[in-house]
Chains A and B, each alone.
Chain A
Amino acid sequence: MYEFLQYQVRDAMTADPIAIGPDATLREVEALFEAHDFNGVPVVDGHHHLIGVLTKFDLLKAFSFDSHTLVPHYDQIMEQPAEAVMTRDPVSVDQHLPLSRLLQKLVEMHTKSLPVVDNGRLVGIIAREDVLKALRRATLQHELPVHAESSP
């Protein structure tokens, strides 16, 4: 486990992730989710600055009961731009954050992944799976030999 404490977010994240612009339609976003099994996608402006996150939860929320119509209308809602339903000012993490602290954040927030930024620019995505993989890698390298010696 000591090795894990040395890791930073950038060691485990997916670098240069797929991102969308604020005017991508929900229809396009859904196609993206369908094709890549993403839970969410970061939204960036023209300078690749992170301005939002759009998750499957946000997509579902767009269809929940509201006071405008009796029945939500699929086509109308799917033509909406990402910026209409995305979560603005999303929580993000710096690429140099220790992975142990990132793990803490994921647990506290019950979230599946977080965008990673460098001075506001999107540089990666870090997900639960990435952290689990890093944990495995950290213990494989240093703790397996100990077990190997103790075996007959």
Chain B
Amino acid sequence: MTTLLYTHPACLEHDTGFGHPECPARLTAILNVLRRSPFAALEWRDAPAAEIAQLTRIHPQAHVERLLAQVPRQGHHAIDGDTILSPGSGEAALRAAGAACAAVDAVLNGEANNAFCAIRPPGHHAEPRQAMGFCLFGNTAIGAAHARAAHGLERVAIIDFDVHHGNGTQAAVEQDAGYLYISTHQAHIYPGTGRRNECGVGNIVNLPLMANSGSADLRHVWRQDIEPALREFQPQLIVISAGFDAHYLDPLAELNFNEDDYAWLTGQILAVAADYCEGRVVSLLEGGYNLPALATSVAAHVKALMEAPKAAQRSLVKNILERQKAKRNAAGL
């Protein structure tokens, strides 16, 4: 089984202005790495533009129309100090959200184990009624909603390991127990949400980390909070908001994850997916602003996705061994 890569040249045409950290070169750096031989088995697919009906599962139609109408014919339009539109932004945003839906379709139709969407603009800060924080449409929430509405899934888990809290994704799903949203992020930075006591209807797990937290802290919250919550939820699909700005070289925050951490975390998520949903994982690019670190971190993440069958096998063997052990224990041996 394969790993799919969804992307589109239109995502390079979203121009945020000179020097902006969320720049087209991020995507170029990623795609350059993914074109190399270790990734030859990736199946590249063009991201389609999302249909308006796919967006309106998360965003009110009037908001979608207003946002698309704000796209300038030339120059730039600033939604806020961080969030800039250029003439190419509308199509890029539609392709980014469309990638999420297409990847969900492909994975749920059994065309592949899993998929990575190399897209921009990112999405997890986009609230149902407010574009913000470099984000226009809530790609992750839109993909998760598509899985439920178009494929009838009852339980979709979202794991967001971007260094910033995904306020937009949380706002979109916090009233619906059919979603589980789990986020690790640095405490006290943008956007200010994501405290532990924000629990939604019991379906939100926020894990703020203090500045300078790193590999050991990630492993700790995985064991302590993320894995138990995921397993209890028994997801039918896992969607990842894959931001890489928690890397120790990233200029926008102060967590200290590295490439090995991203590979490890991806492997852990895949192992849970193997146990509950035949390994079905859709991962979407969010942040990551040191270009070399972004490229190597995405490479580590995608490599782990491509090696998923092995992880699934390991997990299966582990399950069998554990069941045998439990039987032996029950028999008093």
Contacts and interface: CB of A to CB of B under 8 A. Distances in A.
Contact of A66 (B21, B82, B190): B190
A40 B80 CA distance: 33
Contacts of A67: 188-192
Given A65-B253, A65-B254, A70 B82 contact: yes
Contacts of B191: 67
How many residues of A sit at the interface, in one of the four size bands?
Answer: under 10
Contacts of B80: 69
Contacts of A111: none
A151 interface: no
A70 B133 contact: yes
A17 B134 CA distance: 45
B189 A65 contact: yes
Contacts of B81: 69, 71, 73, 76
Contacts of B133: 70
Contacts of B112: none
A73 B191 CA distance: 15
B154 to A, nearest CB: 34
Interface in A42-59: none
A76 B254 CA distance: 23
Interface string A56-91: 000000000111111101001000000000000000
Given A69-B81, A71-B82, 7 more contacts: A65-B189, A65-B252, A66-B188, A67-B191, A67-B192, A69-B80, A70-B164
A35 to B, nearest CB: 28
A66 B252 contact: no
Contacts of A69: 80-82, 190
Contacts of B253: 65
Contacts of B164: 70
Contacts of B188: 65-67
A76 B82 CA distance: 12
B169 to A, nearest CB: 16
A68 B132 CA distance: 11
A65 B254 CA distance: 9
Contacts of A71: 21, 81-82, 252
Interface in B250-302: 252-254
27 contacts: A65-B188, A65-B189, A65-B190, A65-B252, A65-B253, A66-B188, A67-B188, A67-B189, A67-B190, A67-B192, A68-B190, A68-B192, A69-B80, A69-B81, A69-B82, A69-B190, A70-B21, A70-B82, A70-B133, A70-B164, A70-B190, A70-B252, A71-B21, A71-B81, A71-B82, A73-B81, A76-B81
User: Would you list the 10 A-B pairs with minimal beta carbon distance, nearest first?
Assistant: A67-B192, A65-B189, A70-B82, A70-B190, A73-B81, A69-B81, A70-B133, A69-B82, A67-B190, A71-B82
Interface in B36-90: 80-82
Nearest to B135: A70
